[in-house]
Amino acid sequence: MNANLMEKAAHSGAWNPKVAGVTVLTLVFLCGVAAGALAMHLGWHDRLHQPAFDTPAGRTLYFERLSKQLDLTPAQAEQIQSILGDFWQYYRTVLSDSKTRIEQVLNEEQRKKFERILQESQHK
């Protein structure tokens, strides 16, 4: 019976192209929402968006991946973890010093804008 109604509606010109277009767009949008929800539920989002390299989670993830891929012995892992700790400390120092030096060149308004730019880049 449903097929009969569809056939009658199609022959009578009852299909409004605008309504059909909106319906199709709505269905496409809802499919995207469902796919996004599924990706979040299955953890795909986390795999695609790794933590930043200079965060504790990023450092841990980097070391674990390095250790696994290189099949490090416990002694090697300990030494490399120490070396990476030194590197990350150096990295933080360079970033901090660079920020301070840049701020010294800028006027007050530019410093505020610069701070906003840095905050926005950390949230991406």
> Quick one: pLDDT at residue 45?
61
Q: What is the pLDDT of residues 57-68, one digit of tens each?
A: 888 888 999 999
Where do runs of H (alpha helix) occur along 1-124?
A: 2-12, 17-42, 44-48, 56-70, 74-105, 108-122
Residue 113 has pLDDT above 60, yes or no: yes
Q: Tell me which of 19 and 99 has the higher pLDDT.
A: 99
Residue 12 has pLDDT above 60, yes or no: no
Whether this prediction's pTM lies above 0.85 is answered by no
Contact 61, 79 (CB under 8 A): no
Q: Tell me which of 31 and 114 has the higher pLDDT.
A: 114
Q: What is the pLDDT of residues 27-83, one digit of tens each?
A: 888 888 888 888 777 766 656 667 777 788 888 888 999 999 999 999 999 999 999
